[in-house]
């Protein structure tokens, strides 16, 4: 799989390709079906066209929370027999391409066939339609995938995560939700409570519902059981911006500045405000007991 990441003007290709295009945030079941259809064709090479950064962050001119970041998507794409992954630098100029200009770009990279969903739109303000594509390319429409009679989409996955429904999110993603982030210095409140936590810089990842979770952490080739807290720390050290803090069981290493992969397995409880530090510590001990029980009964990743 060859990764071509550049301004759209610089992307070239001589081989006829079957391609699907989109943001592919989360690479959920609907996205997976598109890619499976792409690689099913034997008369062309196979490609995906996606955008970085996420168009919403450019068009809205503010940070946008995503389920997957650039490297995550590349890793997920690599699981399929794709020949090319085109990552277009999404900027203001690209966002202003009209229908004709966008189609000229597709023709230039030698697109023969487009595999798309029924609601696919493209070009400036989404003015491009399937009928526009049919004038120049073979168009293969993949029907929507449904879950609970609702179309599978990135927004739908986020809705489940925001509700703490990790199992439904897992079913739509075909994997457990995960976040990658570097450990940064906090206020060391956890140490004082007897629960030293790693504060995670989660960048632009979408955070699930505030609360306590059973998670597993991957660090330097090894998996660890852990509990995570997402929230504003209402009892001690309140913050307006949500934090992601990880307490790794039976772990004593200096990991400041290191990258961790946090995989979410089970939502335990909502975030609570306690009357005092003693009540908070008691609850954290109960949380740890619950996490250790879950760790006993679940096979490590």
d(CA 161, CA 197): 22
- Measured between its terminal Cα atoms, the distance across the chain in Å is 26
The structural domain count of the chain equals 2
Is residue 166 a part of any domain in this protein?
Answer: no
On the question of pLDDT at 298 being above 70, the answer is: no
On the question of pLDDT at 159 being above 90, the answer is: yes
Residue range(s) defining the domain that contains residue 103? 2-151
My answer on whether 10 and 137 are in the same domain is: yes
d(CA 21, CA 139): 12
Lowest mean pLDDT among 96-100, 190-194, 229-233: 190-194
On the question of pLDDT at 24 being above 80, the answer is: yes
My answer on whether 132 and 26 are in the same domain is: yes
Confidence at residue 237, expressed as pLDDT on a 0 to 100 scale: 66
| CATH label of the domain that carries residue 241 | 2.40.30.30
pLDDT bracket for residue 186 (50, 70, 90):
confident
Confidence at residue 185, expressed as pLDDT on a 0 to 100 scale: 86
My answer on whether 124 and 183 are in the same domain is: no
d(CA 136, CA 238): 57
On the question of pLDDT at 188 being above 80, the answer is: no
pTM for the full predicted model: 0.93
On the question of pLDDT at 271 being above 80, the answer is: yes
Confidence at residue 214, expressed as pLDDT on a 0 to 100 scale: 97
Confidence at residue 233, expressed as pLDDT on a 0 to 100 scale: 72
On the question of pLDDT at 135 being above 70, the answer is: yes
pLDDT tens digits, 36-87? 999 999 999 999 999 999 999 999 988 899 999 999 999 999 999 999 999 9
Give the closest residue to 55 by CA, choosing from 105, 11, 21, 14. 21
My answer on whether 86 and 139 are in the same domain is: yes
């Amino acid at each position: 799989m060859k990764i071509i990441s550049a301004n759209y003007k610089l992307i070239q290709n001589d081989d006829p390709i079957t391609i699907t295009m989109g943001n592919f945030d989360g690479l959920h079941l609907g996205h997976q079906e598109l890619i499976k259809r792409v690689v099913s064709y034997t008369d062309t090479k196979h490609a995906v066209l996606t955008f970085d950064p996420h168009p919403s962050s450019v068009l809205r001119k503010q940070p946008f929370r995503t389920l997957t970041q650039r490297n995550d998507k590349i890793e997920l794409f690599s699981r399929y027999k794709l020949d090319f992954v085109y990552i277009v630098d999404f900027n203001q100029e690209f966002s202003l391409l009209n229908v004709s200009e966008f189609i000229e770009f597709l023709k230039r990279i030698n697109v023969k066939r487009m595999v798309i969903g029924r609601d696919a739109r493209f070009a400036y303000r989404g003015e491009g339609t399937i009928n526009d594509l049919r004038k120049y390319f073979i168009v293969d429409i993949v029907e929507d995938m449904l879950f609970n009679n609702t179309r599978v989409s990135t927004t739908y996955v986020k809705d489940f995560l925001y509700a703490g429904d990790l199992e439904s999110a897992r079913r739509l993603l075909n994997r457990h939700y995960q976040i990658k982030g570097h450990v940064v210095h906090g206020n060391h409140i956890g140490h004082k409570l007897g629960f030293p936590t790693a504060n995670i810089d989660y960048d632009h990842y979408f955070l699930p519902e505030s609360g306590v979770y059973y998670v597993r952490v991957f660090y330097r080739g090894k998996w660890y059981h852990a509990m995570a807290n997402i929230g504003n720390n209402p009892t001690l050290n309140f913050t307006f911006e949500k934090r992601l803090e990880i307490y790794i069981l039976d772990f004593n290493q200096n990991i400041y500045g290191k990258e961790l992969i946090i995989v979410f397995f089970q939502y335990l409880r909502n975030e609570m405000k306690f009357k005092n530090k003693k009540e908070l510590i008691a609850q954290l001990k109960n949380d740890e007991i619950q996490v250790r029980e879950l760790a006993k009964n679940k096979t490590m990743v």
